[in-house]
Amino acid sequence: MKILVIGGGGREHALVWKLSQSKNVHTIFCIPGNGGISEMATCVDMNANDTNGLIAFSKKEKIELVIVGPENPLASGIVDGFEKEGIPIFGPRQKGALIETSKVFTKELLDKYGIPTAPFKIFSDYDKAEKYLKGLKPPYVVKADGLCAGKGAYVITDQAEGETVLKDLLVNLIHGDAGKNVIIEDFLPGVEASYLAFTDGKSILPMLASQDHKALSDDDKGPNTGGMGAYTPIPFIGKDMEEAINQNIMLKTIQALRSEGVVYKGVLYDGLMLSGGTPYTLEFNARLGDPETQPILFKMESDIVPIILACVEGKLNTIEHIKWKEDVSICVVIASKGYPDKPEKGKVIRGLGDLKNRKDVMVFHAGTKKVGNDFYTSGGRVLGVTATGKTYEDAIEKVYDAVSCIEFEGMQYRKDIGAKALKYSIERSA
């Protein structure tokens, strides 16, 4: 089988790595790919948002399955374009991608079908929004409607801050059209989690719950990023909680979309808040998460290809379950100096060769470029060092030992990935 993966980050490297293990796959292309991906697939220097160019390439190479990684191609309708040409593609159509590209669409959908989420109001007029704010007592949350590269949600702890954010979004248009509509919602205290499931638009096949770390620095301090690390499983999500998430949120959302005329195929990613023992949806993504995909796929034993094909063909009910390793899996992201605002590029990366033969460690590349035999930094998030261990302590020790082998000028990373799970486990056993 010939497969094309669209994207060039750590998520796509994890996908390519997992696909390469399948007996059903003999050729993998990746557009545009990265330095690490180039060692296990043919990378093609093309624009991942050029749907017509990608269709032409797929026809020329007789691609049998396309897998879309990032949100932007989904938002622009890449799946609709490929389906018109009869080329199998994994991901939701443009209307389905609204679950990520429009928070207003999502909140209204959740409200209409009684799916747990924070109470909210929607505004497009600054004066009306400001008047509403004056009646609120912080904390509360202000969100831009559209895609803002992870920078469209603001937890407001001071009234003056709320008014400034509102003005920036609705008047100054700092996020352009993405901020022309805003949501003001109640703040939900609790613990955040990421919950992903495969779906064919009728049924779901859950993956493992994971926890992302958005803030740049230890103890969740510093600016928000695309994600500085993740781990799975989560010790505070048990079987009863999983069942509640599956039935009350994931499956109910797929059914709600179907009732609205949207057959959603691909991955549904729920950004959850576990508050007072109840799971609430903060937001949805229409694709695999990054960096959550890295520890999740590194722990997956099942062949991923039959699962993806079952989603595309509407036959997910033929897949009974996913087989997982018993281990804990942790990913630590190493980023460039200046990330997330102005990451430095072009720094040579040393030490990767020392990790190639480690059984329980995999380094997934994100912002890298290979020149000759050397790898150089070419983006903000550079590497996702991922390791498995029998316990949280074991996995943490392995992943940070691997991180210590890598070196490039200005590299930065969090030193507390997995610490929340370890703390919870210790508290429960005390």
Q: Which residue, 233, 251, 289, is CA-closest to 424? A: 233
Residue 362, phi-psi category: left (phi > 0), alpha (psi -120 to 50), beta (remainder): beta
**Torsion sign, CA atoms 155, 160, 163, 167:** negative
Say whether 125-180 and 2-91 share the same fold.
Answer: no
Domain 191-429 indexed as CATH 3.30.1490.20: no
DSSP class of residue 109?
Answer: H
pLDDT of residue 337: 98
State how far the Cα of 272 lies from the Cα of 249, in Å rounded to an integer. Answer: 10
pTM across the whole model:
0.95
Q: What is the 3-state secondary structure (H, E, C) of 323-379?
A: CECCCEEEEEEEECCCCCCCCCCCCEEECHHHHCCCCCEEEEECCEEEECCEEEECC
Q: pLDDT tens per residue, the chain (430 residues)?
A: 999 999 999 999 999 999 999 999 999 999 999 999 999 999 999 999 999 999 999 999 999 999 999 999 999 999 999 999 999 999 999 999 999 999 999 999 999 999 999 999 999 999 999 999 999 999 999 999 998 877 788 999 999 999 999 999 999 999 999 999 999 999 999 999 999 999 999 999 999 999 999 999 999 999 889 999 999 999 999 999 999 999 999 999 999 999 999 999 999 999 999 998 899 999 999 999 999 999 999 999 999 999 999 999 999 999 999 999 999 999 999 999 999 999 999 999 999 999 998 999 999 999 999 999 999 999 999 999 999 999 999 999 999 999 999 999 999 999 999 999 988 766 665 4
Distance of CA 369 to the CA centre of its chain: 22
pLDDT of residue 224: 87
CB of 395 closer than 8 Å to CB of 385? no
pLDDT of residue 430: 46
**Torsion sign, CA atoms 117, 178, 99, 298:** negative
Q: Give the CA count within 13 Å in the CB-facing half-sphere of 164.
A: 8
State how far the Cα of 106 lies from the Cα of 257, in Å rounded to an integer. Answer: 10
pLDDT of residue 151: 76
Q: Give the CA count within 13 Å in the CB-facing half-sphere of 50.
A: 11
Q: Give the CA count within 13 Å in the CB-facing half-sphere of 406.
A: 33
Q: How many C-beta atoms lie closer than 10 Å to residue 64's C-beta?
A: 16
State how far the Cα of 98 lies from the Cα of 16, in Å rounded to an integer. Answer: 26
Q: What is the CATH number of domain 2-91?
A: 3.40.50.20
State how far the Cα of 410 lies from the Cα of 55, in Å rounded to an integer. Answer: 39
- In the chain the first and final C-alpha atoms are separated, in Å, by 51
Q: Any idea where the domains of the chain sit in the sequence?
A: 2-91, 125-180, 191-429
State how far the Cα of 368 lies from the Cα of 380, in Å rounded to an integer. Answer: 9
Domain 125-180 indexed as CATH 3.40.50.300: no
